[in-house]
């Protein structure tokens, strides 16, 4: 009797659909056409004789059987990728220049550690700077990759992760939230946080004043911890000295920001390709 074997390529397509929610976005991640992704999902269902998904408009909702297979698929692909990386790790050499804002460096700690374990022969150089600066440098081929906050005036890149924004105050002390609200904001042009915060307050008819500015959370945190200002943060940027405000604060809701991965215009090096894949795997929600 012939042994039936699951096709890892089909399983990878299944995981991509689950991670992105739509066939269109999964196709972009996999560099396939939409019809190819749909065909592979149908082929997987045919091989197993099981209905794995249902459509809800453009989005894909997995059935109970689809969710069960998704768990198996993630474990199989993880084992496969670990084995492949282990066998090829020593062959990957060279230099990798990665740009990331200061505020996201802690989010990437495990990524840097794992990358070094997998590819010890690669010389990794990390540059921390505001997103707008990193965008300029990666477009000029000065950086191989840049993980940045997606900018309204500089769209594009590969969306890796969404991070909800929230207002935060000091853990022990907080300012009055009456108008004008004292804000600790990024310097003009440093990032989109300031633009989104001021836009939300303006739409809500609230008044504010700028109490402190800096280009990083390290510079904003002391005045916020002292109870002199309110700051805008993502979940990953919260420190033990800061406390997020909930809906009862009376401040308007904030949107989410997107972390996007940008590549230099030149052909990506092998270290850059490996780092991009690792960032997708580790940072995807």
Question: In this predicted model, what pLDDT tens digit does every residue of 106-115 receive, in sequence order?
Answer: 788 888 988 9
Question: In this predicted model, what pLDDT tens digit does every residue of 136-159 receive, in sequence order?
Answer: 999 999 999 999 988 776 678 898
**How confident is the model at residue 173, as a pLDDT?**
94
d(CA 223, CA 220): 6
d(CA 144, CA 266): 9
Q: What is the mean pLDDT of residues 19-37?
A: 83
Residue 217 DSSP label: H
Task: List the domains of the chain with CATH numbers.
Answer: 8-88 (1.10.10.10), 93-284 (3.40.190.290)
Quote the tokens at residue 243.
């406390």
d(CA 207, CA 201): 7
Are β-strands 158-170 and 256-263 bridged in parallel, bridged antiparallel, or unpaired? antiparallel
Of 247 and 85, the one with more pLDDT? 247
In sequence order, what are the residues at sequence separation of 6 or more whose Cβ sits closer than 8 angstroms to the Cβ of residue 43? 7, 10
The stretches of the chain forming alpha helices (DSSP H) are 8-20, 23-30, 34-48, 64-88, 109-118, 131-139, 193-203, 217-225, 270-283
127 pLDDT band, cuts 50/70/90, is: very high
Q: What is the mean pLDDT of residues 259-274?
A: 92
pTM for the whole structure? 0.66
End-to-end CA distance of the chain: 41
d(CA 52, CA 68): 9
Largest CA distance in the chain: 76
- Is the C-alpha dihedral spanning 248, 250, 253, 254 positive or negative? negative
Helix (H, G, I), strand (E, B) or coil at 271: helix
């Amino acid at each position: 009797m012939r042994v039936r074997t699951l096709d890892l390529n089909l399983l990878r397509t299944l995981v991509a659909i689950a991670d992105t929610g739509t066939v269109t976005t999964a196709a972009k991640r996999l560099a396939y056409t939409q019809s190819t992704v749909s065909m592979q999902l149908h082929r997987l269902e045919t091989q197993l004789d099981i209905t794995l998904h249902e459509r809800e408009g453009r989005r894909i909702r997995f059935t109970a059987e689809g969710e069960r297979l998704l768990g198996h698929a993630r474990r199989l692909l993880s084992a496969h990728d670990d084995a492949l990386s282990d066998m090829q790790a020593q062959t990957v050499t060279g230099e990798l220049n990665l740009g990331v804002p200061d505020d996201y460096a802690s989010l990437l700690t495990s990524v840097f550690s794992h990358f070094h374990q997998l590819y010890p022969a690669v010389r990794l150089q990390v540059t921390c700077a505001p997103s707008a600066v990193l965008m300029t440098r990666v477009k000029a081929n000065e950086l191989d990759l840049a993980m940045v906050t997606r900018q309204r005036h500089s769209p594009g890149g590969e969306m890796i992760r969404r991070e909800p924004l929230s207002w935060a105050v000091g853990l022990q002390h907080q300012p009055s939230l009456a108008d004008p609200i004292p804000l600790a904001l990024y310097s003009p042009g440093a990032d989109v946080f300031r633009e989104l915060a001021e836009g939300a307050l303006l739409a809500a008819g609230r008044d504010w004043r700028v109490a402190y500015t800096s280009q990083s959370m390290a510079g904003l945190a002391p005045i916020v911890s002292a109870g002199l200002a309110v700051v805008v943060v993502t979940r990953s940027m919260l420190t033990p000295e800061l406390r997020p405000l909930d809906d009862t604060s009376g401040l308007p809701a904030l949107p989410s920001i997107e972390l996007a991965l940008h590549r230099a215009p030149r052909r990506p090096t092998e270290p850059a390709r490996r780092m991009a894949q690792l960032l997708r795997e580790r940072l995807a929600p």
